[in-house]
Structure 1
Amino acid sequence: MSKKSNYSYVGIAFIILLFGIIFVPKIIDRISEGDVTRDESRSEDVSNATITKKSKSDLKYLEINGEPKKVPAFSFINQNGKTISNKDYLGKVYVVEFFFTTCPTICPIMNRNLVEVQNQFKDLENFGVASFTITPEIDTPEVLKAYADKYGITNPNWHLMTGDESEIYKLANKGFNLYTAKDESVEGGFEHSGNFALIDKEGYIRSRQDNFGNPMIFYNGLVPEAVGVDEDGIPQEITILKEDIQKLLNE
């Protein structure tokens, strides 16, 4: 081999060494600082943001002043004497209602409908129900436990809760905008909404949209699924509630 060839190889080797000394550390720094993205590296993985965006359903968020409304913090005692808070529901899709065990009118209908929903999603650990009594002075944990047994409430994530009356009414009227009030002029002595609220795994109030593109916000809990349409022409919404629960479970 000639001396000229030797010099050529030495020159090439020197250039490669110089490239390694100058540029490789800079590339490593860019990767460690997050400048080189997965898109640049052509990895088959995609970012969490992309996954989240693609997996979201078409259900709307209830927005207040342009911000998605989240379930406010709460902490009450359930039918088993255990303290339950909003944190116990994180990671779960759940339905919210306000009721009382001595209600002679709409509560039995609402809870029979919710039992139907419960049975649709039987044995799912990430589905639950939050039932808040509006007569906590009557509805002790023992009374709530008997009520749960009577209606066939078996889901371990279905908590019937009691506690401070003022906090419960505040949660109903301001936290969920589900009207609740004492009214001696009505049968049972209390008036409250017959609607259900649907909450996603992150604690946001969700619903499908109406014909105008606005969130429905709540689901009518007063017409049984088997009835279809009641005598006043109001259609049942238990079917769409089940469908939307499944959508949130898939998110």
Structure 2
Amino acid sequence: MGKKYSYIWVGLIILIFGIIFVPKIVERLQKGDVVEHDRISRDSENKPLSYIELGGEKRKVPAFALLNQDSLLITDQDYLGKVYIAEFFFTTCPTICPVMNKNLVQLQEEFREFEDFGVASFTINPVYDTPGVLKAYAEKYGITDMDWHLLTGDAVVIYELANSGFNIYAQQMPEVAGGFEHSGLFALIDRDGYIRSREDDYGNPIVYYRGSIPEDRGADDAGETEQISLLKEDILKLLEENDR
């Protein structure tokens, strides 16, 4: 009998929960009050972007000098005065790189009218990705912006730039698809060479933007806000900054 009454009480509790709370949840869904739980929201207050700090100092893009797809020497100084995105990729990547670069082409088209917008794409497979290979890749993906440089050079230098300079993970991994592993993140850099980002709902910089999620996919399975749209907002914010 005791077990029977326990079942009755459990049933009553479930019934009461359904009567009280389910209609409220449905109402919130209909009103659009339920949002993604990644702690990153639209910037309705138009807050300035944060600087990324390390040891109390604003983090700046380290010096680099690499060849682009036209065999021209490009350095970090060529990007001063421009707002740009930095990524690490490789042309034979079978997984996230095609999505990343399609997203970047979309950004290229979005900001085509801005002469002070650019992209720096660093290959993590420089032995294969010669300037000629990068040139063919640029043509395949519709990379036409004069300030979008696909960069290659010494592997040690590039991996140091990725893992220590930007803190964006990249590593040669023969056992994974394509032979390389990397994070698929985009870094946003301002005209003075500082890495910038928006903050999450707790006031912490998100630091990097996930470039490997297609914009038209919306939120992913983990409920994360699609970040390319957020990145568009933040690029425009830096382009319009007047406090240089």
- What TM-score bracket applies, with the shorter chain setting the length? 0.7 to 0.9
Q: Contact between 1:69 and 1:205, CA under 8 Å: does it hold in 2?
A: yes
- 1:169-194 CA-to-partner distances (Å, cap 9, x unmatched) read 00000000000001112111110111
Structure 1 gap ranges (5+): 1-55
TM-score of the pair, normalised by structure 1: 0.76
TM-score of the pair, normalised by structure 2: 0.78
Q: 2:56 and 2:182 mapped to 1: Cα distance?
A: 27
Alignment of 1:40-119 (within 5 A): 58-119=48-109
Larger radius of gyration: 1
- 1:79-131 CA-to-partner distances (Å, cap 9, x unmatched) read 01100000000000000000000000000000001111111001321000000
Q: Contact between 1:57 and 1:248, CA under 8 Å: does it hold in 2?
A: no
2:119 aligns with 129
Q: Contact between 1:199 and 1:206, CA under 8 Å: does it hold in 2?
A: yes
Of 147, 151, 159, 2:149 maps to 159
Q: 1:103 and 1:94 mapped to 2: Cα distance?
A: 23
Alpha-carbon deviation of 1:235? 2.8
Q: Contact between 1:180 and 1:193, CA under 8 Å: does it hold in 2?
A: yes
Q: Secondary structure at the match of 1:131?
A: strand
Structure 2 gap ranges (5+): 1-45
Q: Contact between 1:183 and 1:190, CA under 8 Å: does it hold in 2?
A: yes
Q: Contact between 1:57 and 1:247, CA under 8 Å: does it hold in 2?
A: no
Of 150, 155, 175, 2:165 maps to 175
Size of the alignment, in residue pairs?
Answer: 196
- 1:3-27 CA-to-partner distances (Å, cap 9, x unmatched) read xxxxxxxxxxxxxxxxxxxxxxxxx
1:150 matches 2:140: yes
Of 198, 204, 226, 1:214 maps to 204
- 1:29-81 CA-to-partner distances (Å, cap 9, x unmatched) read xxxxxxxxxxxxxxxxxxxxxxxxxxx96100000011100000000000011
2:17 aligns with none
Q: Contact between 1:196 and 1:218, CA under 8 Å: does it hold in 2?
A: yes
Identity in percent: 60
Alpha-carbon deviation of 1:230? 2.5
Q: 2:239 and 2:139 mapped to 1: Cα distance?
A: 26
Q: Contact between 1:222 and 1:236, CA under 8 Å: does it hold in 2?
A: no
Match of 2:190, as an amino acid?
D
1:25 aligns with none
Q: Secondary structure at the match of 1:136?
A: coil
State the Cα RMSD in Å.
Answer: 1.2
Structure 1 outlier segments of 4+, above 3 Å: 231-234
Match of 2:152, as an amino acid?
T
Q: 1:86 and 1:123 mapped to 2: Cα distance?
A: 22
